[in-house]
Structure 1
Amino acid sequence: MPARHLAIVLYCAVLVFSALYAPQPLLPVLADAFAVSEAKASLLITVALLPLAVAPIAYGFLLQRFSARRLLIAATWLLAATQALAFFVTSFELLLMLRLAQGLIIPAMLTSLMTYLGSSAEPGQVARVMALYIAGSVMGGFLGRMASGLISTHLGWRWSFLCLAGAIALCALLLQRLRSDPPASFQRLEWGAILKVLREPTYLRLYLVVFCAFGAFASLLNFLPFRLVELGTGLNETGIALMYAGYLMGVVTSLLSLRLSDYIGGTVNTMILGTAVFLAALLFFTGSQVWVMFVGMFVLCAGMFLIHSLAPGVLNQGNDGQRGVVNGLYIAFYYAGGATGSFLPGYLYHGLGWHAYLGSLAVIVGLGAWLLWGLKGKLTHA
C-alpha cells in the first residue's frame, strides 16, 4: 500500500473515533443547553456506541456486495452530513437522533477501514498497518475530545460539530484517491457459528471480561465531566477535554504490553495486572483535586489498555476457521459493555452519589479480574 494511501486511511480512522467521542467533554454544556439530566445527556454517547455491538453481524453482508472503498466513501459523506446538521438542532431529541444515525454509520466505516487495510496491505505488512490503525483510533479518541472542548470554549458547542463536519468532508474527498481494494473473502456470521463460539467457556469468559472492563472504563469517562462540574472546579470545556490526555497512554501500553507479558508469565497474568491497575486508578477519583484525577486518568488508561491490547491475541490463538466469528463477537461484547456502562451507572451516581458509583465500577472490574483468574493455567502460552 502506498504511504499516501495509508496516510489517508489513518486520517479517516482518526476522524471516525473523533466523531464517536467528541461530545463527551461537552456533556455538561449540552445538558444545560437542552435542560436535560446527566443520565439523559449521557445517551448522546450511548446511542452512538450501541450499534457497534451488533455491527459485526449487521454489516458483514454489505462487503460481499460492495467494495470496502465504495462503502467507506459513502459512509464518510453521510457522517459529515450528520455532523453538519447537528449545528442547526434546536431540540435534544433531534440531536439524539443524529447521534443514533452516526452510531449506525460509524460501524460501516470501521468495518470498511479494517477490510481495506487487510486486503490492500502487503502480506508481511498487515500487522504493522493494523498497529498503526489502532494507534490512529486511540489518537482519534483523544483529539476528538480535545478539539471539541477547545472549539466549544471559544466558539460554542455547535461549532465543534461543524468544524468536525468540515474535516470529515475533506476526508471523503481524499478517499476518492484510494485505489480500488482487491476482492476480500468476507464471510457472513451465522447464528450456529456464533452459538458454537459462545459455548466455549474460555471465549465466553474473555468476552465477559472485556464487557466489564470497557463498561466501567466508558462509564467513568462519560460521567467524569459531570463530577468536575459538581465539584465546582471552574473548568471550561477545554479544561475538561484536557482531562482525557491520559487516553494517549493507550498507545504506550499497547506497544509495551506483549513485552511486559514476557516478564510476568503470560498474557492472562498481564491482563489480571491490568484489572489491578484499573482498580487502583479508581482511588484517584475519590477526592476532589483536579490534578490527582488528571494523573489517575493515565493510570486508568494503562490498566484498560493492558486488557484490551492483549485479549484479542489470546482469542486468536486457536480456532483458525472461526476467527471471523471470534473477533466479531469480541467487538460486539466490547461495545455492548461500553454502551451499557455509559448510561446505566448514571442512575446510581444520580441517586446515591459519586462514591457509591465508583464502588459499583470497582465491583464490575473485580468481576472481570475473577473471570480472568479462572483462566490461569487453562490457555496455552497465555
Structure 2
Amino acid sequence: MPLVLLLLCSVVTFFVLYAPQPLLVLFSSNFNVSPAQSGSLMSLTMLPLAIAPIVYGLFLAKRNVLLVLKMTMVGLAISCLLFVHVDSFYLLQWLRFIQGLLLPAALTSMTGYIGMRYQGTALHKNMSLYIGSTILGGYLGRVLSASFASMLDWQSFYYVIAVLLVLLSCLIKPSNHQAQIKAANSPKDYLRPLKNRALISLYLAVFCMFFCFAGLMNFLPFILQDTFAITDPKDVGLVYTGYLVGAALSVASPWIVKKCPSAAVFIFWIFILYVMTLTVMQFPSFWLFITAFTLFCMAMFMIHTTAAGFANHLSQAPSTVTNGAYVSFYYSGGALGSFLPGFAFEHFGTHGFLLTLTFVCLLGTWCITQVKEKTDNVQSL
C-alpha cells in the first residue's frame, strides 16, 4: 500500500472523529442539552478508542490489517450517513459510540502497518508523517465542519466525508499486505513486553497530555462564547487555525530532539511549555489567548510525535500491540478530558477549567521525570 494512500485514509478518518467538535454549541442549542452533555459526543467516541486499540492490536497481529482498514472505512461511511438523519440527541450519542468502536480498528491498522513495513529511521520518519496526517485531519475536520455549517448546514459535510471514505476504501488493495509476524502462543505473550516501567510512565504522560488537549479543544467554543463573545461556527473554526500553525511549528521537533540528551529530556521541557501556555490563557486578552493556544498546540504535537516513536523504541512487543497500547492511553486521556473538565467549566468558569487542565498537565510532567530516570542509559532518538 503506498504511504500517501495510507496518509489520505488517516486524514479522512480523523474527519469523522473531530467534525462534531466546533459544532458542540450548535448541538447544545438545537437539542437543548448542557455543555457537558454536548461534550459527550466527543467523549463517547473516545471512550471505545481508550479501550479497544489494545484488543485490536492483539487481533490484528494475526490478521490482514489492510483488509480490516478497508472494511472499517466502509463502516464509518455508513455511520456518517446515519448521523445526519437522526433527530434525537440520544441517537446521536449512540452513533458516536459506534464510530468510536470502528475508529480504533482503522487507527491501529494504519500504525500497525507502518510498524510492520518500516524499521529504524524509516519507522520514525513515517510514523511522524502519520502523526502529521492525523494533525491535518483533525484541523481540516474541525474547520471544514464549521465552514459547511456556516455556509450550508452541518449535515452537508457528513455527506462529503462518506463519499471520501468509500472512494479511498476502493483504492486499498489488501493483497499487497506484507506477511504477518509470527503469532505468539497467547495474548499474555504479546502483552508481557509492555511491562516496562519506563514505557508505562511514558504512556501515562501521553494520557495526561491528551486529557488537557482534548479538554481545551472540546470546550474552546464555549470559552470563546463566554469570554470573547464569539459564537459564529465559522469564526470558531478560524480560531482553530492556531492548531495548524502549532502543528507547522512542531515539525522542528526531530531536529531539536537530536540536540537533547534524550527524547525524555525533550518531552519534559515541552511539558513545561505546555503548563506555561495554560497559565497565560488565564489573562483576558484575545490575542494573548490565541498566541498561547497556538503554542499549546505546538507543544502537544511535539510531545505526540516524539512520544509515538519513543514508545516503539522502548518496547519489545509487536508493533500492533505497542501502538495499540499507545492509542489506548492516548484516547483514555481524550475520553476523560473531553467530558470531566466540563463540570469545572460549568461550576467555576474558564479560570477553574484551565486550572484543572494545568493540574493534570503537571502530573504528566512528573510522569516524564520518571521516564527520564529509567532511561538515562537510552541514547537520544
Same fold (TM > 0.5): yes
Look up the match of 1:278.
274
- 349, 352, 359: which one aligns with 1:356: 352
Structure 2 distance, partners of 1:257, 1:186, is 34
**Residue-by-residue CA offset, 1:93-145 (whole Å, 9 max, x unaligned):** 11111111111111111122233445556998544433322221110010000
Give the % identical residues. 33
Distance 1:81 1:246, change over 3 A: same
- 190, 198, 204: which one aligns with 2:187: 190
- 6, 17, 23: which one aligns with 1:9: 6
Distance 1:250 1:108, change over 3 A: farther
Task: Identify which range, 234-243 or 354-363, moves more after superposition.
Answer: 234-243
Matched, 1:301 2:294: no
Structure 2 distance, partners of 1:22, 1:148, is 5
Can you give the 5+ residue segments of structure 1 that lack an aligned partner in the other structure?
A: none
Structure 1 distance, partners of 2:152, 2:305, is 37
- The one-letter code of the counterpart of 2:179 is P
Matched, 1:246 2:239: no
Structure 2 distance, partners of 1:13, 1:277, is 28
Structure 2 distance, partners of 1:86, 1:15, is 16
Look up the match of 1:330.
326
Look up the match of 2:218.
222
Look up the match of 1:175.
172
- 30, 42, 46: which one aligns with 1:45: 42
Following TM superposition, by how much is the alpha carbon of 1:14 offset from its aligned partner in structure 2, in angstroms?
A: 0.4
Following TM superposition, by how much is the alpha carbon of 1:299 offset from its aligned partner in structure 2, in angstroms?
A: 0.5
SS in 2 for 1:185: coil
- The one-letter code of the counterpart of 1:217 is F
Task: Work out whether residues 86 and 162 of structure 1, in 8 Å CA contact, stay in contact via their aligned partners in 2.
Answer: no
Look up the match of 2:308.
312
- The one-letter code of the counterpart of 2:67 is R
**Residue-by-residue CA offset, 1:141-181 (whole Å, 9 max, x unaligned):** 100001100000011222222222222222223336x7531
Matched, 1:36 2:33: yes
Distance 1:253 1:309, change over 3 A: farther
Look up the match of 1:18.
15
Matched, 1:209 2:205: yes
Distance 1:186 1:86, change over 3 A: farther
Q: CA RMSD in A?
A: 2.6
Look up the match of 2:85.
88
SS in 1 for 2:43: helix
- 216, 222, 233: which one aligns with 1:237: 233
Q: TM-score, normalised by structure 2?
A: 0.89
Structure 2 distance, partners of 1:131, 1:53, is 21
Look up the match of 1:269.
265
Look up the match of 1:97.
94
- The one-letter code of the counterpart of 1:157 is W
Matched, 1:110 2:146: no
Matched, 1:291 2:290: no
Distance 1:287 1:312, change over 3 A: same
Following TM superposition, by how much is the alpha carbon of 1:348 offset from its aligned partner in structure 2, in angstroms?
A: 1.2
Task: Work out whether residues 111 and 323 of structure 2, in 8 Å CA contact, stay in contact via their aligned partners in 1.
Answer: no
- The count of residues paired between Structure 1 and Structure 2 equals 377
Can you give the 5+ residue segments of structure 2 that lack an aligned partner in the other structure?
A: none
Distance 1:68 1:203, change over 3 A: closer
Structure 2 distance, partners of 1:336, 1:73, is 25
Structure 2 distance, partners of 1:107, 1:59, is 7
- The one-letter code of the counterpart of 1:234 is I
- The one-letter code of the counterpart of 1:357 is F
Task: Work out whether residues 62 and 183 of structure 2, in 8 Å CA contact, stay in contact via their aligned partners in 1.
Answer: no
- 251, 257, 264: which one aligns with 2:253: 257
Distance 1:267 1:221, change over 3 A: same
Following TM superposition, by how much is the alpha carbon of 1:218 offset from its aligned partner in structure 2, in angstroms?
A: 0.8
Distance 1:106 1:353, change over 3 A: same
**Residue-by-residue CA offset, 1:30-79 (whole Å, 9 max, x unaligned):** 11111100001101111111111222332235435642222222111110
- After superposition, residues 142-153 of structure 1 pair within 5 angstroms as 142-153=139-150
Structure 1 distance, partners of 2:167, 2:82, is 17
Structure 2 distance, partners of 1:342, 1:65, is 33
Structure 1 distance, partners of 2:104, 2:17, is 10
- The one-letter code of the counterpart of 2:201 is R
**Residue-by-residue CA offset, 1:19-39 (whole Å, 9 max, x unaligned):** 111111110011111110000
Q: Which gives a bigger RCO, structure 1 or 2 (Cα 8 Å, sep 6+)?
A: 2
Structure 2 distance, partners of 1:160, 1:80, is 12
Distance 1:362 1:187, change over 3 A: farther
Structure 2 distance, partners of 1:252, 1:232, is 26
Q: TM-score, normalised by structure 1?
A: 0.89
Matched, 1:157 2:144: no
